[in-house]
């Protein structure tokens, strides 16, 4: 094995580090294993590399037992994630994705919590055709997953003001700047030059080197007062500072992250901390140098301790600032004032400063599909894409914006949206409109409990309780994940559920409505009956005792149900 220059001195690098270093810049034996028709799977080493190309091998967990009984290999399939900074896609691109979903995937499209788009259920032999088609439409899956910088999030409604448009451009530039340089992606998927088999490849990764990052890395840009990218959950965050409609620059946050492991208190969700201010032009440099610090100091031995938040918490935020300033050759200015109101989406039509209209739709848990109740989301978005001249924007709350609609087209879009049941979600309760659930079963290999398929049912029961207390219009951020990895940022839910086992969840309370405070565990390992029994009296008391404008999470803290958690290091205390 090649020597890893970045391995900590006292512990050997993890297996994944060996795989990356020996992969010849993300190639491994992927080309051969994708061609191999003997099995629908690929070996684990290649699967690790495959993530950097935007895909995970999965198997349909609903079919696992039955197939095992029949002595068949699991129903292997691939999830493909499309990375588009700020979640912007054109109607033409949407139509291609829609067709791919029908042809090669499971007939649905999944909007993600990071403004990306996922297709599920692609069989190995269809992967090359799918990725190639995605690229032909000028989208990519490269670096959507893996130990690199992921999709850069930003406030998804750029045309609300010129500032939003500018911020989107910076998100895109940061995203491009941090893309891996290896040609492996082009060779593998786009019929590039011949695959280089030798370790003597002349390729260079100026930012990542051949080791890439110790773990995934995430960046998001928020435009106050909306914190719809949950900026404090990002490894590196930028908060736009705007004066008189002009973007002055960004406050920089560092060291956020949501993942943890049940029963391991050394792992915890954490909030990014504001470390200073930079101008827009300096943001790329800040991002690059931060990534290289994590490359050089992140833990390469223990993957669950390898996120940037632990690098910072172990060494201290002042250490990080000093190292960042040293690498930048200049210092961040003191942070500027800002204020966030909320971390959810604002629904319905808004008119942007460019005179165009934008319709934000509520998509339950980001799943675009036609259902038997007459909600024809898939068909509706396809029909709109056929006539729409603007764009689609995915939000960080798994919703979609039909963006940049001209005054003349607004009626037509409105009529189509209504005809296919796209706007019916807007009439959902305030609780539902503020809900998110991660994918979980049946595709996610790490799920311990249902999430996307279960939260809608649980919400129905909670809606009844809220309605009984006259709180049906009360906005409460509620989030569920099927395991503690945090994909729907459940630790930032005023009510959070984290899957423990089939039908059982930990219940967390007390996060803020604007995403600047974590929640804390209130009850462990409870089933639906217990969840409802626990929440009912708290909701009733909230209805009686809440102060003017007081949010549910703030009340849960004030009433003493849980303590306020403003640092992840207190999450388990």
Residues that bind ligand SRM (CB under 6 A): 56, 58, 79, 81, 112-114, 116, 118, 150-151, 216, 218, 233, 257-259, 304, 307, 366, 398, 438-439, 443-446, 485-489
Q: Does 447 bind ligand SF4 (CB under 6 A)?
A: yes
Question: Which listed option, ligand SRM, ligand SF4, none, makes contact with residue 443 (CB within 5 to 8 Å by class)?
Answer: ligand SRM
- CA–CA dist 179, 311 (Å, integer): 22
Q: Tokens 């500072």 correspond to what residue?
A: 241
Three-state secondary structure string covering 432-480: HHCEEECCCCCCCCCCCCCCCCCHHHHHHHHHHHHHHCCCCCCCCCEEE
CB of 172 to ligand SRM, least distance (A): 16
- CA–CA dist 246, 161 (Å, integer): 10
CB of 20 to ligand SF4, least distance (A): 21
CB of 388 to ligand SRM, least distance (A): 23
Question: Which listed option, ligand SRM, ligand SF4, none, makes contact with residue 366 (CB within 5 to 8 Å by class)?
Answer: ligand SRM
- Which residue among the candidates 218, 273, 367, 500 is catalytic per the annotation? 218
Rg (CA), the chain: 23
Per the structure block, which two tokens stand in for 51? 């993530």
Q: Which of 386, 456, 460, 377 is nearest to 419 (CA)?
A: 377
Question: Which listed option, ligand SF4, ligand SRM, none, makes contact with residue 482 (CB within 5 to 8 Å by class)?
Answer: ligand SF4
DSSP 482-531: SSTT-TT-GGG-SEEEEEEETTEEEEEE---TTSSSB-EEEEEEE-HHHH
Sign of CA dihedral 185, 188, 194, 200: positive
Per the structure block, which two tokens stand in for 492? 């930032």
Q: Which of 236, 239, 335 is nearest to 294 (CA)?
A: 236
- Which residue among the candidates 51, 110, 124, 150 is catalytic per the annotation? 150
Which residue in 251, 409, 451, 514 binds ligand SF4 (CB under 6 A)?
Answer: 451
Catalytic residue status for 273:
no
Question: Which listed option, ligand SRM, ligand SF4, none, makes contact with residue 140 (CB within 5 to 8 Å by class)?
Answer: none
Per the structure block, which two tokens stand in for 325? 């300033």
Question: Which listed option, ligand SF4, ligand SRM, none, makes contact with residue 81 (CB within 5 to 8 Å by class)?
Answer: ligand SRM
Count CA atoms within 13 Å of residue 284 on its CB side. Answer: 13
Report yes or no: 550 and 559 within 8 Å, Cβ to Cβ. Answer: no
Residue placing its CB nearer to ligand SF4 in the complex, 184 or 438: 438
Q: Does 144 bind ligand SF4 (CB under 6 A)?
A: no
- Which residue among the candidates 309, 438, 500, 520 is catalytic per the annotation? 438
CB of 238 to ligand SRM, least distance (A): 15
Binding part of the chain for ligand SF4, among 149-157, 232-240, 423-431, 445-453 by CB under 6 A, reads 445-453
Q: Which of 63, 195, 48, 41 is nearest to 127 (CA)?
A: 41
Question: Which listed option, ligand SRM, ligand SF4, none, makes contact with residue 422 (CB within 5 to 8 Å by class)?
Answer: none
Sheet of strand 88-89: strand arrangement: 88-89, 391-394, 400-405, 357-361, 348-351
CB of 369 to ligand SRM, least distance (A): 14
Q: Does 481 bind ligand SF4 (CB under 6 A)?
A: yes
Catalytic residue status for 145:
no
Q: How many CB atoms lie within 10 A of CB 176?
A: 11
Q: Which of 535, 507, 534, 532 is nearest to 521 (CA)?
A: 507
* 507 upstream amide cis, omega within 30 of 0: no
Residue placing its CB nearer to ligand SF4 in the complex, 219 or 438: 438
- Which residue among the candidates 483, 500, 517, 520 is catalytic per the annotation? 483
Question: Which listed option, ligand SF4, ligand SRM, none, makes contact with residue 483 (CB within 5 to 8 Å by class)?
Answer: ligand SF4
- CA–CA dist 571, 520 (Å, integer): 6
CB of 368 to ligand SF4, least distance (A): 17
Per the structure block, which two tokens stand in for 117? 């788009």
- Which residue among the candidates 487, 500, 517, 520 is catalytic per the annotation? 487
Q: Does 482 bind ligand SF4 (CB under 6 A)?
A: yes
CB of 499 to ligand SF4, least distance (A): 6
Q: Is 440 left (phi over 0), alpha (psi -120 to 50) or beta?
A: left
Catalytic residue status for 438:
yes
Count CA atoms within 13 Å of residue 207 on its CB side. Answer: 23
Q: Does 446 bind ligand SF4 (CB under 6 A)?
A: yes
- CA–CA dist 80, 33 (Å, integer): 17
- Which residue among the candidates 110, 444, 479, 517 is catalytic per the annotation? 444
- Measured from each CB, the residue nearest to ligand SRM is 259
Catalytic residue status for 154:
no
Question: Which listed option, ligand SF4, ligand SRM, none, makes contact with residue 118 (CB within 5 to 8 Å by class)?
Answer: ligand SRM
Residue placing its CB nearer to ligand SRM in the complex, 116 or 160: 116
CB of 387 to ligand SRM, least distance (A): 28
Residue placing its CB nearer to ligand SF4 in the complex, 363 or 385: 363
Q: Does 439 bind ligand SF4 (CB under 6 A)?
A: yes
Catalytic residue status for 278:
no
Catalytic residue status for 150:
yes
Across the chain, how many H-helices and E-strands are there?
17, 20
Which residue in 155, 485, 491, 514 binds ligand SF4 (CB under 6 A)?
Answer: 485
- Which residue among the candidates 216, 289, 295, 307 is catalytic per the annotation? 216
Q: Does 79 bind ligand SF4 (CB under 6 A)?
A: no
Question: Which listed option, ligand SF4, ligand SRM, none, makes contact with residue 113 (CB within 5 to 8 Å by class)?
Answer: ligand SRM
- CA–CA dist 318, 332 (Å, integer): 13
CB of 249 to ligand SRM, least distance (A): 23
Residue placing its CB nearer to ligand SF4 in the complex, 252 or 487: 487
Q: Tokens 């995203």 correspond to what residue?
A: 175
Per the structure block, which two tokens stand in for 95? 């139509």
Question: Which listed option, ligand SRM, ligand SF4, none, makes contact with residue 30 (CB within 5 to 8 Å by class)?
Answer: none
For residue 191, the 8-state DSSP code is -
Q: Is 160 helix (H, G, I), strand (E, B) or coil?
A: helix
- CA–CA dist 231, 222 (Å, integer): 6
Q: Interface with ligand SF4 by CB under 6 A: which residues?
A: 438-440, 444, 446-447, 451, 481-483, 485-487
Residues acting as catalytic residues: 81, 150, 216, 218, 438, 444, 483, 487
């Amino acid at each position: 094995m090649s020597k890893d220059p970045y391995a900590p001195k006292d512990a050997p690098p993890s297996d994944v580090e060996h795989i990356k270093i020996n992969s010849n810049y993300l190639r491994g034996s992927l080309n051969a294993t994708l061609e191999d028709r003997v099995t629908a799977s690929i070996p684990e080493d290649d699967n690790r590399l495959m993530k950097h190309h935007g895909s995970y091998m999965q198997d349909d967990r609903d079919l696992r037992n039955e197939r095992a009984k029949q002595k068949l290999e699991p129903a292997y399939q691939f999830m493909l994630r499309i990375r588009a900074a700020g979640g912007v896609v054109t109607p033409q691109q949407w139509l291609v994705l829609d067709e791919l979903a029908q042809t090669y995937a499971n007939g649905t499209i999944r909007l993600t919590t990071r403004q990306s788009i996922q297709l599920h259920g692609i069989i190995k032999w269809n992967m090359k055709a799918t990725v190639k088609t995605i690229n032909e439409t000028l989208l990519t899956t490269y670096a959507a997953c893996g130990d690199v910088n992921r999709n850069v999030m930003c406030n998804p409604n750029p045309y609300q003001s010129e500032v939003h448009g500018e911020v989107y451009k910076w998100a895109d530039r940061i995203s491009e700047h941090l893309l891996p340089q290896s040609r492996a992606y082009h060779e593998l998927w786009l019929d590039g030059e011949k695959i280089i088999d030798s370790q003597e490849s002349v390729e260079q990764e100026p930012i990542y080197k051949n080791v890439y990052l110790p773990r995934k890395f995430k960046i998001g840009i928020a435009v106050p007062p909306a914190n719809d990218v949950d900026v404090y959950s990002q490894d590196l965050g930028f908060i736009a500072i705007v004066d008189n409609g002009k973007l002055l620059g960004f406050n920089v946050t560092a060291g956020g992250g949501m993942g943890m492991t049940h029963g391991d208190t050394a792992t915890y969700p954490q909030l990014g901390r504001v470390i200073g201010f930079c101008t827009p032009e300096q943001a790329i440099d800040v991002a690059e140098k931060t990534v290289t610090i994590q490359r050089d100091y992140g833990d390469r031995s223990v993957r669950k301790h390898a996120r940037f938040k632990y690098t910072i918490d172990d060494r201290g935020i002042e250490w990080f600032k000093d190292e960042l300033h040293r690498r930048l050759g200049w210092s961040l200015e003191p942070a500027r004032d800002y204020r966030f109101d909320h971390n959810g989406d604002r629904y319905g039509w808004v008119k942007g400063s460019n005179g165009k209209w934008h319709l934000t739709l509520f998509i339950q848990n980001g799943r675009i599909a036609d259902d038997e109740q007459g909600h024809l989301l898939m068909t509706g978005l396809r029909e709109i894409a056929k006539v729409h001249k603007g764009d689609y924007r995915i939000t960080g709350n798994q919703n979609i914006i039909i963006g940049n609609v001209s005054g003349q087209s607004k009626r037509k879009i409105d009529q189509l949206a209504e005809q296919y049941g796209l706007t019916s979600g807007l009439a959902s309760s305030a609780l539902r409109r503020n809900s998110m659930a991660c994918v979980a079963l049946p595709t996610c290999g790490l799920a311990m409990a249902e999430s996307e398929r279960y939260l809608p049912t649980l919400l129905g029961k909670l809606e009844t309780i809220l309605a009984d207390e006259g709180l049906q219009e009360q906005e409460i951020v509620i989030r569920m994940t099927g395991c503690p990895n945090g994909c729907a940022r459940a630790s930032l839910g005023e009510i959070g559920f984290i899957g423990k086992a089939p039908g059982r969840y930990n219940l967390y309370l007390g996060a803020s409505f604007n995403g600047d405070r974590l929640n804390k565990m209130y009850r462990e390992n409870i089933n639906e009956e217990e969840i409802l029994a626990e929440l009912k009296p708290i909701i009733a008391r909230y209805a009686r005792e809440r102060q003017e404008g007081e949010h549910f999470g703030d009340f849960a803290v004030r009433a003493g149900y849980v303590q306020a958690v403003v640092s992840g290091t207190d999450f388990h205390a």
